[in-house]
Amino acid sequence: MDLGLTGKTALVVGGGRGIGRATVRLLAQEGAHVAVFSRTASEVDDAAAEVRAIGRKAFAASVDVLDRPKFHAAFDAAQSALGAPSVLVWCVAPFWKPTRLQHLPDEELDQLLATDLSAALVACRRALDGMLELQFGRLVLVGSLVSQVGIAGGTAYAAAKAGLEGAVRALSVDYARRGITANVVSPGFTASERLEQRLAGDPEQREKLVRHTTRRALVTPAEVAEAIVFLCSTRAAAITGTVLEVTAGAHLNTLW
């Protein structure tokens, strides 16, 4: 099935590893040129090299999304190199430690909300100008199951991810008639390198997470990327303002 992405420019923020890296790979395989932003230079360079090996153009930038001047400079450079992105995938996944709100320092609260929510809106704002000129745009923000299912010590993280869901609904109202869609993909616990590192030496905790899925297997980064890239495609023109759960059934919170 042709997804209509050949020749389009995509920007994946948080594309160095995990879900973001899988998304970069799949976008390139579907014909898109890809700009990759992430904090770790070696990871974005590797991701860009993979895009080029597939036969597409790539741009790589090591960027901390909280450094607004550097983010804007990187966006300008990516746009000069590849053209205005008509696809934006926000896949930033900062490390956070479960902490009850009463014990969460102001600076940690502010940083988490700024990274997971405010910076995403800044990226959308930058991308919208080019999308409006093109009369085509796809905004896909990666949320989390924790915005719907309570998790101990996750108040701030859940609030930020829920904010993304509200944002895409409002963006859909504002821009749907201009050919721009906005959606959230909400993964469950994903068998990424980061999660496997957290669970190393704790098979009981891993099994507990597996039992929370209806298929008794964790989601993989590649499976989440499939959903993201479909929403980036011309085939998904009628899907906007939606939260797509890719959880292997964990969002059902089933007792069975």
Tens digit of pLDDT for each residue in 72-121?
999 999 999 999 999 999 999 776 777 898 888 899 889 989 999 999 99
Looking up residue 46, the CATH number of its domain turns out to be: 3.40.50.720
Asked if residue 253 is part of any domain, the answer here is no
Asked if residue 220 is part of any domain, the answer here is yes
Asked if residue 254 is part of any domain, the answer here is no
All residues at 6 or more sequence positions from 189 whose CB lies less than 8 Å from its CB, including other chains = 145, 195, 209, 212, 218, 219, 250
Asked if residue 33 is part of any domain, the answer here is yes
Asked if residue 3 is part of any domain, the answer here is no
Domain span at 13: 9-245
Which residues of the chain have a pLDDT value below 70?
Answer: 95, 191-192, 195-202, 206-210, 213-214, 217, 249-250, 253-256
What is the reported pLDDT for 255? 46
Please state the domain count of the chain: 1
What is the reported pLDDT for 189? 78
Q: Rounded to two decimals, what is the model's pTM?
A: 0.91
What is the reported pLDDT for 256? 47
Residues labelled as active-site residues: 157
Residue 178, judged by CB atoms within 10 A of its CB (0-12, 13-18, 19+), counts as middle
Asked if residue 63 is part of any domain, the answer here is yes
What is the reported pLDDT for 122? 98
Asked if residue 171 is part of any domain, the answer here is yes
Asked if residue 256 is part of any domain, the answer here is no
